[in-house]
Structure 1
């Protein structure tokens, strides 16, 4: 067979059929593999995503002693510290980080509130509270409220995030990297149509 003859050969009907099937089947197979089998292991969030759970038992009292229900904070993102009234150095650091991370959100900071869930009946330090204007201090009526915050270390070691619908949805690592927390919050605020 000469080169000229080989170049003028037409594909057979069977080759055309296989080519057409390939055009339609290959993209479907690639999409299936991408969705079910070849997911990347890297993720963009720093905090641990938790199963989205609506918070229950939201009745309680504010730091001043008046009745306060957490549902009044719906519509805002909540950074939450859960811990005793005696605020040690780690607790103070968390409250400081929560304050600074909120401020760092610039014009979006009004979409974020900070909450300290006090897990005992002890007295709070007035000097500490003065350092954190706008911090909501709250004692739940039910111990079942605190049990909703999952942790393998003491809950007070984490900062938690509650979405504007009142769902617990994220937990930041112990001694979190502030820049990474800010990055997560920025992404959530940008993507969120609520709160």
Structure 2
């Protein structure tokens, strides 16, 4: 009689153990499946965002943008000018420098630069050398630039990570305080650069 009463207890413990195992597996697998489904089919994705520019995080790099030269391995505020660097371009160059200065103690983690496809007018080139001594200068290949830039005639400001990945893009007239907040957030979250 003792064996008959012990056997149902053992089966009950086995059943309870199996249910616990299944519950643990589901606890690990369901969130992964849910997150993958949310990513693939774009449901329950919040519409709010913490950045102000156009997010580009799709793996494109400075090389894809057509920028060449000795690029620093820091965060980069890059102004691109596919044509002449006229009023909008000059405003963005000034804005990039002001944002770089506003970083304060974090300024060493970033640089500001200008990429142009054409030579700058002599007077503006001299002004940059005199007033913007830390401004990096790079060449821009227009044929590659046209594949990424949505409006190829308009200069743009880009935030680029230390690995050369394009992160955010801003049009002329963008708010400098918002760009600064975006860059500060990236620097805060970044383990590189």
Global fold match (TM > 0.5): yes
Preserved CA contact (<8 Å) 2:85 2:116: no
Match of 2:60, SS state, is strand
User: May I ask how many residue pairs the two structures share in their alignment?
Assistant: 166
Describe the superposition over 1:134-172 as per-residue Cα deviations: whole angstroms up to 9, x where unpaired. 1112224x434433542236340x211111011222102
Q: Which ranges in structure 1 are unaligned for 5 or more consecutive residues?
A: 1-16, 60-68
Equivalent in the alignment of 1:78: 76
Change (3 A) 1:86 1:187: closer
Equivalent in the alignment of 1:115: 113
Equivalent in the alignment of 1:39: 45
Given the alignment, which residue of 35, 48, 53 partners 2:54?
Answer: 48
Query: For 1:48 and 1:100, how far apart are their aligned partners in 2?
Result: 20
Equivalent in the alignment of 2:134: 134
Q: Give the structure with the higher percent strand.
A: 1
Following superposition, the deviation at residue 182 of structure 1 comes to 0.9
Following superposition, the deviation at residue 32 of structure 1 comes to 5.7
Equivalent in the alignment of 1:11: none
Q: How large is the RMSD of aligned CA atoms in angstroms?
A: 3.0
Q: Give the structure with the higher percent helix.
A: 2
Equivalent in the alignment of 2:169: 171
Change (3 A) 1:148 1:133: farther
Q: Which ranges in structure 2 are unaligned for 5 or more consecutive residues?
A: 1-15, 39-43
Q: Give TM-score scaled by structure 1 length.
A: 0.68
Describe the superposition over 1:94-131 as per-residue Cα deviations: whole angstroms up to 9, x where unpaired. 11111111111111111111111112134341124422
Change (3 A) 1:131 1:148: farther
Query: For 1:119 and 1:145, how far apart are their aligned partners in 2?
Result: 11
